Amino acid sequence: MNKKVQVFAGLEELSAAAAGQFIRLAEASIAERGRFDVALTGGSTPRRMYEYLANARYAEQVAWPSVHIYFGDERCVPPHHPDSNFGMAYEALLRHVPLPSAQIQRMHGEEDPTEAATAYARLLDAQLPKSPRGMPQFDLVLLGLGADGHIASLFPGTEGLAERSRCAVANYVPQLQAWRLSLTLPVIASGRQILLLVSGEPKASIVSKILADNDESPPLPAQMLESAATLEWYLDSAAASTLPGENKR
């Protein structure tokens, strides 16, 4: 795996840099293919990045009519529920930019999880180009990192983490006693670029555990991203605070 680790002073600097990377990748994808297919992440870390992208100085640099928004995962709640990843992204970014609503494909957390995941997998299959391995391929997959090493809603020990053929699943998470909708590892790893945003001291130990390449067994979800794409880690100094020096660039 070609991992690149960038450490920024704090969440503000990380978010501004991630917004800049989004703009660069969008420009390159649209120039190359006429569109930019991106899977947004939920959680709290990316909100500030989305707010930067919604700011006119950033938003004017993106050809939004050529951007297609998808989601890496979703909670099983209605779209404007406080826990909804779509709801967070909508308030922070999507409602502020000139994106045709048909180009925003949320996961239907309000529906039966299995039916919603099947429908989402069908939609990705119909709308996205395919990777060399035949998986729907995003130009950019944004991810956050859980303190237990989960990415999207692929939590350690859950069935969804083991899925290798479907591109989206309903995943029961015993740790949360809740169902989640999630992209699977094969489609995440097929992303042409993967950007993992990690902020805050509570993530320092999991970041060290993963980046120090400890051979955890079984490997943590974030360690399972065997990807030909460039996996970029955007950390703030708090999340990177226990990394040995050589990991920081």
Site residues, ligand 6PG (CB under 6 A): 41-45, 72-73, 85, 144-146, 150-153
Nearest to ligand 6PG of 35, 150 (CB atom): 150
Nearest to ligand 6PG of 6, 61 (CB atom): 6
How near is the Cβ of 38 to ligand 6PG at its closest, in Å? 14
How near is the Cβ of 235 to ligand 6PG at its closest, in Å? 12
Contacting residues for 223 by C-beta, under 8 A, at least 6 apart = 149, 210, 213, 216
What is the spatial distance between Cα 173 and Cα 178, in angstroms, rounded to a whole number?
A: 5
Radius of gyration of the chain (CA): 17
Long-range contacts of 96-102 (CB under 8 A, 24+ apart): 96/54, 96/59, 97/53, 97/54, 97/59, 97/62, 97/64, 98/64, 98/65, 99/64, 99/65, 99/67, 99/69, 100/65
Distances (CA, A) of 228 to 131, 133, 200, 221: 11, 11, 28, 16
The answer to whether 11 and 236 are in contact (CB under 8 A) is yes
The residue of the chain with the least Cβ separation from ligand 6PG equals: 144
How near is the Cβ of 73 to ligand 6PG at its closest, in Å? 5
What is the spatial distance between Cα 93 and Cα 59, in angstroms, rounded to a whole number?
A: 9
The answer to whether 175 and 245 are in contact (CB under 8 A) is no
Contacting residues for 11 by C-beta, under 8 A, at least 6 apart = 45, 48, 199, 200, 236
| DSSP SS3 for 4 | strand
